[in-house]
C-alpha cells in the first residue's frame, strides 16, 4: 500500500529503540544472547564436531549488535571468544592454545570484527532513515494544513492531526475509507470524476481552481476548503497527496469586505444624491451668487460635520446632544440643552444635523440669536405611546424680534418640514415670543439600534430633498 508504512512504527522497532535508550538493558541482552549461544553449542555437542566451536556465537553477536548497538556488540564478541576458548577449543576447560587453535581463534575474532563493522554500518543507516522518517512524521503532524494521502482507488492511506481536527474524525476512522467520505454527498460524483482525471494525468495543481470547494465534517456540517494536489508513488504504485486548508476565515473576511464595499458604495451614492438636492434647491431659491455660496457652504459644512462625527463615533451610534453642540458650538452660552442624549442612526444623524443647522441659521438671521437678549431652549424627551416609545424634539426661541411665517417656501422649509415628516410629525409655531419647532418621531425610527432604518431611511431622505 502506498505510504502506509509511515502511519505507525512496527512494534519490534519501538522495542529496539526502547532497549537502546537504556544501556544496562542493551548489555544484558548481549550477555543473555551469548549465554544462549553457549548453551546451544553445549547441547549440540558432538553433532557438529569440535572443528566448529564458534558456530552458535555468530548469530548472537550479530543480534546483540543489531539490538544494542556497537559496544554491546563488542561485549558479545569478548564473551563469545572467552566462552568458546575455555569450553569448546581443545583442551576443554582450559585457556591453553596450540598453534592451530590460536589461528582458529584469531580467524573467529577477525570475522566477528567484520560482522560487527557491517552491522554497525547498517545500524547507522537504519537510524538515519528512521530519523528522516520521524522528521517527516513530525512535519506531517505539526503541519497547520490537513494532509491526506489517497491511492488510485480513492482509499485513504494517511492522515495527519490537522485533518482529524478539520473533519472531526480520528485517524483510525479514516484509514482505508474512501476519500468521498470527506466530501458533501451532493458533490461526491463530481469529485470522483475529477479524481479519475487527476489519476490519468497526475501533476501538481490546485483542485477546482476558480471554484468554491466544500468539505464535510463527521457531524455533517460543511465548510469551505482549498485543496492542493501532488502526485506521489511508492513501490511502483501511484497515489496523490492532498493538502487541505480551511478557508472559512478568509471567506468571512471577503464577505465582510464585500459588505463594506457595498455599504461604502451605497453611502457614497446617497451622499452625492443629497448634495445634488441641496445644491439644486439652494441655487433655485437664492437670489444672488453670494447667497448661493453662503447658504450652500453652511449646509454642506453641517453635513460634513455630521459625517465626521459619525466616523469618529462608536457602534452604539451618535448622540443627538453631540450633534447639537457641534452645530451651535459658538453660541453655547445662549443655548440650553436637555434630554438629548439619545443615540441616533447614521441617517437620523444626517437629518438632525441639517435640521439643527437650518434652525440655527434662521435664528441668527431672523430669530432669537439675532438679538443680544435672545436665547434658545432645546429639549428632548422620550414618551411611551401605545406600547411603543416616541422621541419628541423641541426647539423654542425666546427674547428675539417678533417672527412671522416666511413669505415663500425655501430650502429651509424642505429640510424642516417635508424631509422631517419622513420621520414623524412636525409642527412649527411662529409665536410672538419666538419660533417653536417640534418634531415627534417613533424612537425606533431614529435610534442607532434600529437596523431596519439603516437601509431605508437614506433613500427617503434623498427623495424628500429632491426638487
Which CATH number belongs to the domain containing residue 165 in this structure? 3.30.450.20
Per-residue pLDDT, 60: 92
Higher local confidence (pLDDT), 435 or 205: 435
Is 60 exceeded by the pLDDT of residue 312? Answer: no
| Run of H or E including 59 | helix 57-68
Per-residue confidence band for 286, with pLDDT thresholds at 50, 70 and 90: low
| Run of H or E including 442 | strand 434-442
Is 50 exceeded by the pLDDT of residue 398? Answer: yes
Whole-angstrom distance, CA of residue 38 vs CA of residue 57: 7
CA-nearest of 156, 160, 134 to 145 is 160
16 φ/ψ angles, rounded to the nearest 5 degrees: -60, -45
Are residues 227 and 203 located together in one domain of the fold?
A: yes
Are residues 390 and 257 located together in one domain of the fold?
A: yes
Give the pTM: 0.47
Is 80 exceeded by the pLDDT of residue 300? Answer: no
338 φ/ψ angles, rounded to the nearest 5 degrees: -150, 145
What grid cell was written down for 296?
450652500
If you average pLDDT over residues 414-436, what whole number do you get? 84
Are residues 335 and 452 located together in one domain of the fold?
A: yes
Higher local confidence (pLDDT), 150 or 451: 150
Neighbours of 464 (CB within 10 A): 19
Are residues 152 and 137 located together in one domain of the fold?
A: no
> Burial letters for 41-59: b for 16+ Cβ neighbours within 10 Å, e otherwise?
beeeeeeeeeeebbbbbee
Are residues 307 and 429 located together in one domain of the fold?
A: yes
What grid cell was written down for 102?
590460536
If you average pLDDT over residues 346-370, what whole number do you get? 84
Percent of the chain at pLDDT exceeding 70: 78
Is 70 exceeded by the pLDDT of residue 16? Answer: yes
Checking DSSP bridges between strand 222-234 and strand 213-216, what pairing results, if any? antiparallel
Are residues 231 and 258 located together in one domain of the fold?
A: no
Are residues 384 and 264 located together in one domain of the fold?
A: yes
Are residues 167 and 298 located together in one domain of the fold?
A: no
Per-residue pLDDT, 279: 63
Higher local confidence (pLDDT), 141 or 2: 141
What grid cell was written down for 265?
458604495
Per-residue pLDDT, 349: 82
Whole-angstrom distance, CA of residue 45 vs CA of residue 53: 10
Neighbours of 294 (CB within 10 A): 14
Residue-wise pLDDT tens digits, 42-57: 888 766 655 678 888 9
Is 60 exceeded by the pLDDT of residue 311? Answer: no
If you average pLDDT over residues 420-439, what whole number do you get? 87
Per-residue pLDDT, 365: 82
Question: Do residues 41 and 92 lie in contact, with contact meaning Cβ atoms separated by under 8 Å?
Answer: no
Where does a domain end: 142, 174, 192? 142
Residue-wise pLDDT tens digits, 103-120: 888 999 999 999 999 999
Higher local confidence (pLDDT), 382 or 372: 382
Number of domain units in the chain: 3
Per-residue confidence band for 440, with pLDDT thresholds at 50, 70 and 90: very high
Where does a domain end: 109, 142, 175? 142
Per-residue pLDDT, 1: 36
Boundaries of domain holding 379: 251-465
For cell 501511484, name the residue.
238
Percent of the chain at pLDDT exceeding 90: 24
Are residues 426 and 353 located together in one domain of the fold?
A: yes
Counting every residue written for the chain, the total comes to: 467
Name the DSSP class of 344: E
Q: Among 168-177, 222-231, 329-338, 371-380, which is the least confidently predicted range? A: 329-338
Is 70 exceeded by the pLDDT of residue 271? Answer: no
Question: Do residues 14 and 30 lie in contact, with contact meaning Cβ atoms separated by under 8 Å?
Answer: no
Question: Do residues 179 and 148 lie in contact, with contact meaning Cβ atoms separated by under 8 Å?
Answer: yes
Residues in CB range of 323: below 8 A, 6 or more apart: 306, 309, 344, 349, 352, 353, 356
Whole-angstrom distance, CA of residue 445 vs CA of residue 308: 22
Name the DSSP class of 317: B
Whole-angstrom distance, CA of residue 260 vs CA of residue 254: 10
Per-residue pLDDT, 74: 93
Higher local confidence (pLDDT), 245 or 452: 245
- Tell me the DSSP string of 83-144: HHHHHTSSSTTS----HHHHHHHHHHHHHHHHHHHHHHHHHHHHHHHHHHHHHHHHHHHH-S
CA-nearest of 276, 279, 272 to 296 is 279
Are residues 318 and 186 located together in one domain of the fold?
A: no
What burial class does residue 394 get, using C-beta atoms within 10 Å of its C-beta: 0-12 exposed, 13-18 middle, 19+ buried? middle
Alpha helix positions (H), 143-247 = 161-167, 171-174, 188-200
Q: Among 360-369, 383-392, 401-410, 452-461, which is the least confidently predicted range? A: 452-461
Residues in CB range of 409: below 8 A, 6 or more apart: none
Are residues 150 and 265 located together in one domain of the fold?
A: no
Where does a domain end: 216, 246, 276? 246
Are residues 358 and 458 located together in one domain of the fold?
A: yes
Question: Do residues 434 and 398 lie in contact, with contact meaning Cβ atoms separated by under 8 Å?
Answer: yes
Is 60 exceeded by the pLDDT of residue 328? Answer: yes
447 φ/ψ angles, rounded to the nearest 5 degrees: -70, 150
What grid cell was written down for 128?
538515519
Is 70 exceeded by the pLDDT of residue 69? Answer: yes
- Tell me the DSSP string of 245-269: EE-HHHHHHHHHHHHHHHHHHHHHH
Per-residue confidence band for 327, with pLDDT thresholds at 50, 70 and 90: confident
What is the distance of C-alpha 288 from the center of its chain? 60
Per-residue pLDDT, 34: 93
- CATH (domain of 384): 3.30.565.10
Amino acid at each position: 500500500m502506498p505510504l502506509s508504512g509511515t502511519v505507525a512504527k512496527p512494534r519490534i522497532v519501538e522495542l529496539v529503540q526502547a532497549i537502546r535508550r537504556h544501556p544496562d538493558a542493551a548489555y544484558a541482552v548481549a550477555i543473555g544472547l551469548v549465554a544462549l549461544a553457549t548453551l546451544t553449542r553445549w547441547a549440540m555437542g558432538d553433532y557438529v564436531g569440535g572443528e566448529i566451536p564458534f558456530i552458535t556465537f555468530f548469530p548472537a553477536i550479530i543480534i546483540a549488535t543489531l539490538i544494542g548497538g556497537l559496544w554491546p556488540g563488542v561485549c558479545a564478541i569478548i564473551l563469545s571468544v572467552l566462552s568458546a576458548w575455555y569450553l569448546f577449543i581443545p583442551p576443554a576447560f582450559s585457556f591453553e592454545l596450540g598453534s592451530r587453535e590460536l589461528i582458529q581463534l584469531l580467524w573467529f575474532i577477525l570475522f566477528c570484527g567484520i560482522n560487527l563493522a557491517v552491522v554497525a554500518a547498517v545500524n547507522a543507516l537504519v537510524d538515519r532513515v528512521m530519523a528522516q522518517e520521524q522528521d517527516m512524521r513530525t512535519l506531517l503532524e505539526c503541519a497547520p494544513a490537513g494532509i491526506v494521502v489517497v491511492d488510485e482507488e480513492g482509499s485513504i492511506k494517511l492522515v495527519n492531526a490537522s485533518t482529524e481536527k478539520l473533519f472531526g474524525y480520528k485517524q483510525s476512522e479514516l484509514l482505508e475509507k474512501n476519500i468521498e467520505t470527506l466530501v458533501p454527498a451532493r458533490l461526491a460524483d463530481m469529485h470522483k470524476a475529477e479524481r479519475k482525471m487527476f489519476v490519468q494525468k497526475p501533476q501538481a495543481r490546485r483542485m477546482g481552481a476558480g471554484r468554491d470547494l466544500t468539505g464535510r465534517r463527521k457531524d455533517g456540517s460543511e465548510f469551505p476548503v482549498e485543496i492542493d494536489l501532488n502526485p506521489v508513488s511508492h513501490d511502483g504504485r501511484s497515489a496523490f497527496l492532498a493538502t487541505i486548508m480551511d478557508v472559512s476565515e478568509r471567506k468571512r473576511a471577503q464577505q465582510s469586505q464585500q459588505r463594506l464595499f457595498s455599504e461604502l458604495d451605497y453611502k457614497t451614492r446617497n451622499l452625492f444624491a443629497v448634495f445634488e438636492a441641496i445644491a439644486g434647491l439652494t441655487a433655485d431659491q437664492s437670489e444672488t451668487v453670494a447667497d448661493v455660496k453662503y447658504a450652500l457652504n453652511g449646509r454642506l459644512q453641517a453635513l460634513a460635520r455630521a459625517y465626521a462625527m459619525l466616523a469618529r463615533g462608536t457602534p452604539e451610534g451618535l448622540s443627538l446632544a453631540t450633534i447639537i453642540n457641534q452645530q451651535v458650538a459658538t453660541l453655547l452660552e445662549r443655548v440650553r440643552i436637555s434630554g438629548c442624549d439619545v443615540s441616533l442612526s447614521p441617517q437620523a444623524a444626517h437629518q438632525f444635523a441639517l435640521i439643527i443647522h437650518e434652525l440655527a441659521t434662521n435664528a441668527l438671521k431672523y430669530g432669537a440669536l439675532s438679538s443680544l437678549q435672545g436665547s434658545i431652549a432645546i429639549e428632548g424627551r422620550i414618551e411611551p405611546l401605545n406600547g411603543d416609545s416616541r422621541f419628541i424634539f423641541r426647539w423654542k426661541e425666546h427674547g428675539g424680534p417678533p417672527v412671522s411665517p416666511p413669505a415663500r417656501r425655501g430650502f429651509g422649509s424642505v429640510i424642516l418640514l417635508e424631509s422631517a415628516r419622513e420621520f414623524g410629525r412636525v409642527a412649527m409655531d411662529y409665536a410672538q415670543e419666538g419660533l417653536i419647532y417640534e418634531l415627534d418621531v417613533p424612537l425606533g425610527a431614529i435610534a442607532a439600534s434600529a437596523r431596519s432604518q439603516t437601509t431605508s431611511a437614506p433613500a427617503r431622505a434623498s427623495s424628500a430633498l429632491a426638487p
